[in-house]
Amino acid sequence: MWLIALVAIAALPKPFTAIVLGVNGRGSTLYVARTGKATFTSQAENVALTDVISPWVMQRGSSAAEYFAIDLLLGEEITVTPTGRAEDDDGPFLVARVKLGATDVTEALVRAGHAWVKPEARTNQKLTALEAEARAAKRGLWAERNPLEPWLWHELTMLGDKPNKHVHSGWECPFVQATKCKDCGGVRFYSLEEARAAGFAPHDVCMKEAEIRIAESSGEPEGVERDDDNRRLLPRSPRRACKVDKDCAVAPMTPCTCPPCGHAWREAARADVVQRMKKNFARAACGGVGCPACATMWGGTKAVCKDEQCRSE
């Protein structure tokens, strides 16, 4: 699914500055727009951090890595030094070293425990030392009992067999294929923790050691904090630190992208952070974006200070 094919690195672009528009599914891949004068062909692009990889979407730790990268980088100007090109199911992208001022973003992500050092980069002594430090301190993904390397993980369609109280690895399970598993389609689990809590046990035919480890590394941990409307609360961050409501403001809409169809939520941040985001977003170079004709119902139109953190409501 996620295997990445390296492509020719001829004619790599020179280092450039860009504005971070978002994080593309995991903390180690950024969605950016270059600064400068926009042309009709200017487009936002994906940039993957060199030498590291964060957990995949639906893998434990992915949300924490994404939130960390967003809190550090969203709306900020970065310097991108390309080191290669690669391609996956979502298309081609740049691989690069990224700096936020003097901060090396790759090192920051590893230090916080939100990325693995890739096998081919284990000769980078600084990164491996930062990874060992994060592991010893049980930061980020290292707080998990048995974290799984992202290059060994893939999403399982965990099907619940109601009559037998078994969870299967997916439709390719021999038992499922042989029986058509008429009762399997009604229940799907996103983690083995969720399945066990519901009284289901791994099926001994298709849930071997490798599948069980993948299943244990899937989903998000229980106990995630949510607000009164069941929205997941963002982690505490200096980006949202406040004392009173006037310290906060609602973040601007992200340029170069289409607003989602249906309901969308705008988060809050410190007022000075929001002002900096607005100035930087105005410098993002991107041409015309072909957005579908649909209605967007925005939520999060008011920023307030709750528990010394800016929240939108």
Pairing of strands 77-88, 5-7: antiparallel
Residue 185 token pair: 């389609």
Q: What CATH class is the domain 5-144? A: mainly beta
Tens-of-pLDDT digits for all 313 residues of the chain?
A: 444 444 444 577 889 999 999 988 788 999 999 998 766 556 888 999 999 999 998 898 898 899 999 999 999 999 999 999 887 766 778 999 999 999 999 999 999 999 999 999 999 999 999 999 999 999 999 998 889 999 999 888 888 888 888 888 888 888 888 876 766 666 888 888 889 999 999 998 889 999 999 998 988 755 455 555 556 677 889 999 999 999 999 998 888 887 777 777 788 999 999 999 999 999 988 866 667 777 677 777 899 999 999 998 8
**CA distance readout (Å), 54 to 1, 7, 25, 136, 141:** 16, 21, 10, 18, 9
Q: What is the pTM of this model?
A: 0.86
| CA–CA distance, 48 with 53 (Å, rounded to integer) | 8
> What b-and-e string marks burial along 175-214, b requiring 16 or more CB atoms within 10 Å of the CB?
bbeeeebeebeeeebbbbbbbeeeebebbeebbeeebebb
| CB-side neighbour CA atoms (13 Å) of 252 | 20
Question: Which regions of the chain carry the CATH code 2.40.50.90?
Answer: 5-144
